Amino acid sequence: MLSVSEALSYDVDAIGIGRKGTIDKPYILKAPFWTVDTLFYCICKEGHNLNFVYDIFQNINWKAMDESTGVPSLSKTTINKVKTLIPSYLEQEKIGKYFSCLDGSIPKFV
């Protein structure tokens, strides 16, 4: 692939998770965003809060689902098998906002 002219999402943020290598480090993709072939992305369904779902992604033991013998790898099939309980949208918003606020209070060391 030499270039990408269209974003995967122009107006909806998503969660990115590595397909190879950094499978245990999900992060929020701010729209507009593009990805490469070693990154999966998750756009939340209606009724699901992005920050809450991101918190869930951060608490899944992705390395335990590693399908490789070398570089850590995940497949779409494995990710789709993950089951979790989701509270009401109002609760998701409160929980997501709380953890987002905590994340924002942690100094960034770059």
Mean pLDDT of the chain: 87
- pTM, whole model, 2 decimals? 0.78
Binning pLDDT at 50, 70 and 90, where does residue 1 land?
A: very low
Q: Where is pLDDT greater, at 50 or 105? A: 50
Every domain of the chain and the residues it spans: 14-105
Residue 80, token pair as written in the block:
């789709």
Q: What is the pLDDT of residue 109?
A: 64
Pairing of strands 39-42, 27-29: unpaired
Cis peptide before 72 (omega within 30 of 0): no
Per-position b or e across 63-76, b if 16+ CB within 10 A of its CB = eebbeeeeebbbee
